[in-house]
């Protein structure tokens, strides 16, 4: 199969609706001995792969953050050889930049890290990531989705220094995996972008964790719908 699109998703509950809607089948030979899992199927003559990081052995919690995302993406590329990588999931948005709960963003023009601060010339830019994304602008216009810079860090909260860096880097979407997925896609020269649905407004008075839990199902729904629209767009004749 020529066209293979791979969704790299952190949490099972972010992926499950999409797995169900696309009627994908788990590939039990993926990542033997590791927590990562993968499902495969076809839509419009293209292969659709969904990988998740899987659960921590000790706590049975979904593995989240950049280490797990790096390993999952590497394993997915080696095993499935996809020609498009999509980092999909939930994220925080900023009401002062126009975000609303349930909004879906496609990444453009780039993905950055806001918490890899290295104040030495050269390494400063390596720390920021600054990974270019596949051009999602036409697709976003046609599907009526937002575009923005996605900013990755390994914390759910946002310290003042993180906020300063997110603003300096132009971040509109705050999450915990995209930069890692983007880096591995970049190493393998595979086109990459993100689909992120907003569960919380980082600049609201309500704690992020509370908003995340409250709005998770809504955002998982819009994430799934938009992901299907994106697949249909990418595989149209």
Residues contributing to the site for ligand ADE (CB under 6 A): 90-92, 156, 174-176, 199-200, 202, 208, 212
Question: Token pair of 144, please?
Answer: 């009526």
**Among 157, 164, 200, 210, the one annotated catalytic:** 200
Assess contact for 116 and 143: CB atoms under 8 A: no
Nearest residue to ligand ADE, by Cβ distance, number only = 92
Q: Residue 191 CB, nearest distance to ligand ADE (Å)?
A: 24
Q: Residue 49 CB, nearest distance to ligand ADE (Å)?
A: 22
**Among 14, 115, 162, 177, the one annotated catalytic:** 14
Q: Residue 152 CB, nearest distance to ligand ADE (Å)?
A: 8
Assess contact for 87 and 14: CB atoms under 8 A: no
For the beta carbon of residue 188, count every other beta carbon within 10 angstroms: 14
Nearer to ligand ADE, 172 or 200 (CB): 200
Q: Residue 64 CB, nearest distance to ligand ADE (Å)?
A: 8
Rounded CA separation 37/50 (Å): 8
Nearer to ligand ADE, 45 or 161 (CB): 161
* DSSP labels, 57-117: TTT-PBP-SHHHHHHHHHHHHHHH--SEEEEEEEEEE-GGGT--TT-EEEEEEEEEESS--
Cα 194-65-102 angle, rounded to 5 deg: 45
Q: Phi-psi region for residue 81, left (φ > 0), alpha (ψ -120 to 50) or beta?
A: left
Q: Residue 89 CB, nearest distance to ligand ADE (Å)?
A: 7
The yes-or-no answer on residue 14 being catalytic is yes
DSSP state of 204: S
Nearer to ligand ADE, 134 or 175 (CB): 175
Nearer to ligand ADE, 146 or 174 (CB): 174
Q: Which helix (DSSP H) or strand (DSSP E) does residue 78 occupy?
A: helix 66-80
Nearer to ligand ADE, 8 or 48 (CB): 8
Rounded CA separation 39/50 (Å): 5
Assess contact for 197 and 106: CB atoms under 8 A: no
Catalytic residues: 14, 200
């Amino acid at each position: 199969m020529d066209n293979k699109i791979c969704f790299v998703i952190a949490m099972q509950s972010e992926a499950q609706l999409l797995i169900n809607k696309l009627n994908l089948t788990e590939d039990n030979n993926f990542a033997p001995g590791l927590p990562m899992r993968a499902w495969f199927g076809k839509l419009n003559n293209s292969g659709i792969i969904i990988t998740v990081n899987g659960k921590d052995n000790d706590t049975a919690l979904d593995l989240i953050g950049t280490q797990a995302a790096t390993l999952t993406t590497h394993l997915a590329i080696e095993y499935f050889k996809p020609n498009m990588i999509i980092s999909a999931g939930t994220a925080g948005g900023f009401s002062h930049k126009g975000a609303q709960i349930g909004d879906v963003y496609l990444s453009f023009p780039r993905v950055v890290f806001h918490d890899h601060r290295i104040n030495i010339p050269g390494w400063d830019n390596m720390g920021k990531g600054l990974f270019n994304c596949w051009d999602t602008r036409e697709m976003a216009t046609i599907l009526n989705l937002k575009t923005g810079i996605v900013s990755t860090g390994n914390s759910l909260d946002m310290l003042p220094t993180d906020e300063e860096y997110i603003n300096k880097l132009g971040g509109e979407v705050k999450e915990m995996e995209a930069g890692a997925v983007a880096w591995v896609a970049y190493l393998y020269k595979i086109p990459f972008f993100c689909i992120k649905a907003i569960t919380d407004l980082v600049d609201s008075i309500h704690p992020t964790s509370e908003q995340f839990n409250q709005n998770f199902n809504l955002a998982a729904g819009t994430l799934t719908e938009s992901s299907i629209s994106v697949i249909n767009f990418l595989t149209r004749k």
